Amino acid sequence: MLKVGLTGGIGAGKSEVSRLLASYGAVVVDADRIAREVVEPGTPGLAAVVDEFGPEILADDGTLDRPKLGGIVFNDPERLHALNAIVHPLVGARSAELEASAGEDAIVVHDVPLLTENGLAPLYDLVVVVDAGAETQIDRLVRLRGMAEAEARSRMAAQATREQRLAVADLVIENDGPLEGLEPQVRKVWEALRERAASARG
């Protein structure tokens, strides 16, 4: 099994790269999706978050009110640490389960937005970084996600710098251009991963 960490700044296009890799045959473990699953209604994760932050972080339908919780933790490192202490171990355990069920010949791609920030690079055989310039990121966040420019800039500022991400990269996918320029690069990375997996088996 080849374990790959995939990361990139907000708006860099990591989700599209993840989708392409899955279409080629990678087993994608999506940390963001798992982070949502582990706090769904009825889960021990949601119960623990409510214990920590109070029932006011629930929406009327009993689901987690993400914007409200985000407002509490975004500018408060202590509260964010408390939230991460609940969610990260649950995400890690579920990710390990999915990886274990993938089969020994699989190429498992862990799609982890905060890989650099949380010092997770050593967990993987290699790290793929989706890279885009700051202006490209801002343009996509404003144009495609409807964010205000100030919010886009503050979300980017809360993440690792471009230099920090590139420092942990084994392979880099440049995604400053149009979508059609992305697929050939991702295909090339996929071939490199297959070669690496084959040589590890050999």
Number of domains into which the chain is organized:
2
Q: In what order do the strands lie in the sheet with 126-131?
A: 27-30, 107-111, 2-8, 126-131, 171-174
pLDDT tens readout for residues 17-29: 999 999 999 999 9
**Domain boundary pick from 78, 104, 130:** 104
Is residue 52 located within the same domain as residue 112? Answer: no
Q: Return d(Cα 116, Cα 42) in angstroms, integer.
A: 31
Kindly state whether residues 51 and 76 are assigned to the same domain: yes
pTM: 0.86
Q: 87 with 58, same domain?
A: yes
- Domain limit, last residue, from 71, 104, 137: 104
Query: For residues 128 and 199, which has the higher predicted lDDT (pLDDT)?
Result: 128
19, 112: one domain: yes
Q: Which of 52, 87, 104 is the last residue of a domain?
A: 104
Domain range spanning residue 193?
A: 1-26+106-202
**Averaged pLDDT, 85-108:** 92
Those residues whose C-beta lies under 8 Å from the C-beta of residue 120, and which sit 6 or more positions away, are 5, 112, 114
The separation between CA 82 and the C-alpha centre of its own chain, rounded to angstroms, equals 20
3-state helix, strand, coil in the chain (%, to 5): 55, 15, 30
Strand 126-131, strand 27-30: pairing: unpaired
Give the pLDDT of residue 132: 95
Give the pLDDT confidence score for residue 53 in this predicted structure: 95
Q: Residue 195: its pLDDT value, please?
A: 95
Q: Is residue 32 part of a domain?
A: no
Within this chain, do residues 194 and 127 fall inside the same structural domain, yes or no?
yes
Same structural domain for residues 168 and 98? no
Mean pLDDT value of segment 101-114: 92
pLDDT of residue 1: 93
The CATH number that applies at residue 183 is 3.40.50.300
Same domain, 148 and 64: no
Mean pLDDT within 183-192: 96
Closest CA to 138 of 11, 28, 36, 31: 11
Dihedral sign, Cα of residue 37, residue 138, residue 121, residue 170: positive
Q: Mean of the pLDDT values across residues 138-144?
A: 93
**119 and 72 fall within a common domain:** no
- 46-68 average pLDDT score: 94
How much of the chain, in percent, has pLDDT values that exceed 70? 100
Q: Are residues 77 and 129 in the same domain?
A: no
In a domain, 34, yes or no: no
CA distance 54 to 118: 26
Residue 3 lies in a domain: yes
- For 58-85, the pLDDT digits (tens) are 999 999 999 899 889 887 889 999 999 9
